[in-house]
Amino acid sequence: MAKLPSSKETVRDPGLGAASETNNTFVLIGPSGASVKNEVNFYTDIQSLVEDHGAGPVVDSAAHMLLAAGGPVGVISTTDSINGSAGSITGPGGDSPEVSIAGVPSFDCDLIVSITGTGDVGVGKFS
């Protein structure tokens, strides 16, 4: 597996001229589902990550890092600034059908609905 890019930092004491190297561990900050907010936790496996944080953009990114490069990966879960909501979609024409979306969103996305067949409920089709 390819390792993700990392960085090294050299710390120098200007008084003594002593130097040491340190390896940095990534810490991701972002929204997630069911978890304690604003607290850093480190993970080496995806199962523990998902158990603690549920779903969300920070979980997706941390899981990708764990799969690609291993751990540990730090995660700080934050609260979304704007809660998502499900609604309905109406086409541009006055007689366009309305498509309702139900459920609770777990991530931010743009959705494109294509009407593939018109008709009453149970007859009309979309993708």
Q: Is residue 91 part of a domain?
A: no
Is residue 60, in this structure, part of any structural domain at all?
yes
> Is 119 within the bounds of a domain?
no
Is 80 exceeded by the pLDDT of residue 44? Answer: yes
CA–CA distances in Å: residue 79 to residues 3, 39, 64, 93:
30, 12, 21, 38
**Three-state DSSP state, 126:** strand
For 32, the domain range is 21-78
- Say how many domains are in the chain: 1
32 domain-assigned: yes
pTM check: above 0.85: no
Of 32-36, 55-59, 72-76, 93-97, where does the model show the most confidence? Answer: 72-76
Give me the phi and psi of 59, to 5 degrees please: -70, -45
Domain annotation covers residue 59: yes
Give residue-wise pLDDT tens across range 82-126: 666 777 766 666 666 666 777 766 666 677 777 787 777 777 777
Q: Tell me: pLDDT of 11 over 80.
A: no
pLDDT at 46 over 90: yes
In contact, 41 and 75? CB cutoff 8 Å? yes
| Mean pLDDT score, 39-47 | 91
- CA–CA dist 71, 73 (Å, integer): 5
| 3-state class (DSSP) for residue 74 | strand
